[in-house]
Amino acid sequence: MRVGRWAPVVAWACVILISTSLPGAAVPAGPPGMDKVGHFVMYAVLGLFSIRAALSGAEPRLRSLALTLGAIAVFAAVDEWHQQFVPARAPDVADWAADLAGATVGVGSMAIFTLRRSARS
């Protein structure tokens, strides 16, 4: 396992934690539901980076996909939990669901891409 493959995962996780640590007043208000889109996109990217690092060039296995999604689910839950300590922020199960949906799309997209690429080789 090459440690360098995990650098984007760690960096993106830091971006997520920093952005969710901003007080609510510092976050611009958008149209209703737009925050769920933000959660989805942030965690889709995390899913892409995570499964790419976990696979490390190997073909996707169900175990790798499940472990990656499980780790992201725990990270997202802890991230939501920590928001109760941030001024004008609160944990939200709907945000967590958007996180998981994004992670699932990110992990699945990278797994499909990897399988198709290896089938062409």
For residue 12, give every residue at least 6 positions away whose Cβ sits within 8 Å of its Cβ, in sequence order, or none. Answer: 45, 46, 49
For 4, the 3-state DSSP assignment is helix
Name the token pair of 91: 């944990």
CA distances from 101 to 42, 60, 76, 112 (A): 11, 19, 11, 16
- What is the rounded CA–CA span in Å between residue 13 and residue 40? 14
> What are the pLDDT digits (tens) for 44-86?
999 999 999 998 877 778 899 999 999 999 999 999 999 999 9
Q: Where are the domains of the chain?
A: 3-21+33-120
Each residue of 6-36: pLDDT tens digit? 999 999 999 999 999 999 777 777 788 888 9
User: pTM of the entire structure?
Assistant: 0.91
